[in-house]
Amino acid sequence: MSGQSALLVGATGATGRHVLRELLKDPQFTRVGEFGRRSLPESELHGVDTSKLQRKVVDFEKLDEKEWKEGHWDVVFITLGTTRKQAGSAEAFEKIDRDYVINAAKAAKSTDASHQQRLVYLSSGGANASSPFLYTKSKGLTEHGLASLGYSDFISFRPGMLAGAQRDETRIAETVFGWVTGALSHFTSSLEINVADLARSIVTAGKLGTAGLPKSAGASQVPAHEGASAYTTIGNAGAIALSNEN
């Protein structure tokens, strides 16, 4: 399918910046929106044609649904997220990591029942609404909330450790763990993925949809439950395989 529109929320993140570049380079998407608390610096898009890019700085505390819905986005990509340290508290973390994400997806949801929209979300390995850990529990609850919005197709990525991530903060524990997973990745594909590869797989999934995913993606179905529709998840190994499909 050609001539599609794509909206990306969270373009300034470690993975999101790569997703934006992939979307701008892909001829299938003729219109690309970048909505976020701030825009990705122009220097990050050097060498990429930005003529089809529409940028908008938004206030997630006061979303104007009209400006989101008027885009009539065919595929909505959300890579927005944070950490407890960045947010400053557990409450602030949950607001950004869950409320902002769900509210953005809701705002971008078309009011036209005939408009087949796809939603692709960057979650995390271990996402589980019943998890005793704040981060993975928030991701699980966010997935459930997104699955309740009525998108025609919803795909959630659950990657492992993110390699090659460009961040605004230094995460010592994550760096040390990265050395370990980097070594183990020579023996298993379930622990680590490069952010550029993850971005390619996210965009590919957005183009193909659940029905078009190859077996190598190892996609799993989360059954409908408690008001949420069934949706698709792709783990680390599947994301790596999918990144090689193009």
Q: Beta strand pairing status for 118-122 and 161-163? A: unpaired
Across the strands, what pairs with 233? 156, 220
How many helices and strands (H and E) does the chain possess?
A: 9, 10
pLDDT of residue 2: 65
Read off the pTM. 0.91
pLDDT at 8: 99
Catalytic residue among 56, 69, 106, 135: 135
pLDDT computed for residue 176 by the predictor: 42
Residues 4-243, CATH architecture: 3-Layer(aba) Sandwich (3.40)
Whole-number pLDDT of residue 165: 76
**Residue 189 in tokens:** 């594909």
For this structure, is 139 an active site residue? yes
| Contact yes or no for 151/75 (Cβ under 8 A) | no
- Reply yes or no on whether 121 is catalytic: no
Q: What is the mean pLDDT of each run of 10 residues along the chain (246 residues)?
A: 90 97 98 96 94 97 93 97 92 96 97 96 96 96 98 98 70 44 49 96 98 98 96 98 89
Given a contact cutoff of 8 angstroms between Cβ atoms, the answer to whether 164 and 130 are in contact is: no
Out of 109, 137, 139, 207, pick the active-site residue.
Answer: 139
pLDDT at 246: 65
d(CA 91, CA 88): 8
Beta bridge pairs of residue 234: 157
